[in-house]
Structure 1
C-alpha cells in the first residue's frame, strides 16, 4: 500500500455563529453601563459639593420621598426661595433650616430630577430586557407596551383576542396575567416612585344596569394592584387607582377591539407625583 493511500482525508468543518456582533444584547448591556456610570459620577459630584447635613437630607429624600411632599414641615420654605412661591421637593428649610453652601435649592432640585430620570430609565431598560428574555414575560411580548409619558414610565398590559387578562366580564385575573403583574411588581419595588394604576374596558356594554364598565374597570385596576403587591411592590407605592371604563380607548376607531381592554401602570416621576399630590391638597383645602 502506498504512502498516499494511507493518508487520512482532512475534513474542514465551518462553524457558523448566529448573531455575533450583529446581535442586540450588547445594546442593553451598554445602556445599563452608561446609566450606571452617569449615576456614579452624579454620586461623586454630590459627595464633593455637599456637607454632611445636606447628604443626610438627600439620603432621606431617596429613602422616603413622602417626607418631601408639599406641606411637610421638613420642606416648608419661605416664599421666594427655590423656584416660585410653592414648596419645592428638595428645598431645605422650615423644620431644620439647612442653608446649603455648596449647592443652591434650585441646583438640588435639578439634581433630584436628573437622578429620578436616570432611575426611571434604568427601570425601563430592565423591563424591556425582561420582556425580551424573561421566561415569564417573553411569551407575552405583544401584550406588553412600555413607553415614557409626561407623567413617568408607563407599562400597559393589553388583551388579545384569544388571550385575555381577566375572565369575561369579571375582575378575576387569569393565572398568566397574575404572573405578569407579579414580575412587574418585583421590578417596580426597586424604585421608591409612586404608581398610578388605571383599568380600561372596551365599549361593549355590560349587561347589568347596576354594574357597568366603570365599576368593572375600577375593580380590575384594584385586582392589578393586589397582584403587583403580591409580586413585591410596596403597598405604600400605590398613589392612585382609577377606572376609566371605555372612555379612553387605545384604538379609538374600533372601540370594541380587545386591545382597549387593558391595565395601565404609570411609575410616576417625582415632579408628576408632586404636582398630583399638590393638586389634591389644594382641592381638599378649598372644600
Structure 2
C-alpha cells in the first residue's frame, strides 16, 4: 500500500520594516540639480547685467582662454600668405603669441587705476616672455647663435633692451660707413620678425667709439644716426611694422658702453629698446611738446641737436 505523506502547510512570513530609507542616491541627484539651477540663474543674471561688449569679451575668453587676457597660447594652425600667420624661423614649444591684449569682462569692471596697474603687469610679462624667447633663439638659431656674444639682452626701466655691439675684427658696419655687414642685416631681419609679435613700439639709438672720423662736415653724430636708420630699415625688411618705430637717434660717443676705454670696439653699437607703455607715452608727449613749439621731433635726429667736435667711429 502506498505510504501516506503528511502535507505540511506552507507558511509565508511577511516582515514589514518601519522607518526604512531608500539610500543616498537621491541626494547626489538633487545636488546636481541644484548646481545646474544655480548656474542657470547666474547665466540669466550675467546676460541681464552685462553690455554687448562685455558679452563679446566673455565669448572671446571661452573661445580662446589664456594666461594673458585675450591672447592665444599657440599660433594659428593655418600658415602662409594671407592667413595672418607664418612659420617661425625657430619652433618654440609653448611659446606665446604676444598680440595686443583684448579686455575681458573682469577688466572692464575695474576702475581706471586698477586697469592701469593691470596693463603695466601685462606689459612687463609680455616683455619678459619676449626676452626668454630671444635668449632661446640665441642658442638655437643658425643666424643668431654665432653672434650671441655680440647680442646683449636685458630689461631696463624703459623696456626690453637689445644691444648689438662691435667686436674686434667683427664689426657690424663697414669702417666709417652706415653700410651694414651681411650678417648684421640677417641678425636685424630676424629680430624684426620677432619684435613684430608684440604691440610695443621700439626706440633705436646709434653709438660710436671715441676715435675721430677726421672731418668736420661729416662727424660721428651723423654716422651714429645713419647707422641707427640703417638698422631700422633692416628690421622693417624682416617684417617689423614701420609704425612700430617710435624714435631713431644718434648719440655719437656720448654714452660709451665701456666708460674706462672710450676707444673699445664694444662702444660701437646699435641699441634697440622694445619700449614699455610708459616710455612710449613719454616720448609721444615730448614730441608733441616740441612740435607745439615749432621744433622738429627727434625721431630721426642726432642728439643733442648741436653736435660738439667730431669724435668717433
- Taking structure 2 as the reference length, the TM-score comes to 0.60
Matches within 5 A, 1:30-109: 52-53=52-53, 102-109=109-116
Could you report, residue by residue, the CA deviation over 1:31-74 in whole angstroms, capped at 9, with x for unpaired residues? xxxxxxxxxxxxxxxx9x985436879x9xx99xxxxxxxxxxx
Residues 167 and 55 of structure 1, relative CA distance in 2, 3 Å threshold: farther
What stretches of structure 2 of length at least 5 have no aligned partner?
1-45, 61-68, 71-106, 295-313
Superposed CA RMSD: 2.5
Q: Which residue of 2 aligns with 1:163?
A: 170
Q: Which residue of 2 aligns with 1:126?
A: 133
Is residue 184 of structure 2 the alignment partner of residue 177 of structure 1?
yes
Q: Which residue of 2 aligns with 1:255?
A: 262
Is residue 237 of structure 2 the alignment partner of residue 218 of structure 1?
no
Contact preservation (8 Å) 2:54, 2:108: no
Matches within 5 A, 1:266-277: 266-277=273-284
Higher helix share: 1
Could you report, residue by residue, the CA deviation over 1:207-236 in whole angstroms, capped at 9, with x for unpaired residues? 221100000000000000000001111100
Aligned residues: 201
What stretches of structure 1 of length at least 5 have no aligned partner?
1-46, 64-99
Among residues 243, 260, 285, which one is paired with 2:250 in the alignment?
Answer: 243
Contact preservation (8 Å) 1:50, 1:102: no
In our comparison, the structure showing a higher alpha carbon Rg is: 2
Could you report, residue by residue, the CA deviation over 1:192-212 in whole angstroms, capped at 9, with x for unpaired residues? 111000000000001221100
- Taking structure 1 as the reference length, the TM-score comes to 0.65
Contact preservation (8 Å) 2:163, 2:269: yes
4+ residue stretches of structure 1 with deviation over 4 A? 49-52, 54-57
